[in-house]
Amino acid sequence: MEETVVNPAQPANLSRKIISIAAGEAHTLALTADGKVYSWGRGTFGRLGTGSEEDRHFPVRVSFFGSDDDDEREEQLKIVGIAAGAYHSLALADDGSVWAWGYNICILYYDPFRNKNMLHEI
């Protein structure tokens, strides 16, 4: 993640209509018109919501349920708001549920037995 871009450029791999963006300390979130969330940047602390701490140079879709068995639930979930902190991310769904991932999630919801790199509904 050491590349510097000195002129404005559109993120590659993000062709959907974006209705909102949020920036954290070293990561970015984008919300599409169809209610999907994409993230890229530093993956440390699981702040990208990809299930790992791998850095991503290009936007990747955030998976809220983390398995192929939940494709139907994933498609039904519509995110309407996003926020990014230094090391964590948040999403608000149209049903009023709030989702959080990344570092300091324990402030919002603490369960020591849950995977720290997965997304959690609050």
Domain membership of residue 80 (yes or no) is yes
Domain membership of residue 39 (yes or no) is yes
Instruction: Answer whether 0.85 is exceeded by the pTM.
Output: no
Domain membership of residue 104 (yes or no) is yes
Q: What is the pLDDT along the chain (122 residues), one digit of tens a residue?
A: 567 778 888 887 777 899 999 999 999 999 999 999 999 999 999 999 998 999 999 999 998 887 666 788 888 999 999 999 999 999 999 999 999 999 865 555 555 445 555 566 65
> Reading across the β-sheet that carries 56-61, which strands appear in turn?
18-23, 27-32, 37-41, 56-61
Domain membership of residue 13 (yes or no) is no
Residue-number span of the structural domain to which 95 is assigned: 18-121
Domain membership of residue 60 (yes or no) is yes
Domain count, the chain: 1
Domain membership of residue 24 (yes or no) is yes
30-69 burial, b if ≥16 CB within 10 A, otherwise e? bbbeebbbbbbbbbbbbbbbbbeeeebeebbbbbbeeeee
Domain membership of residue 10 (yes or no) is no
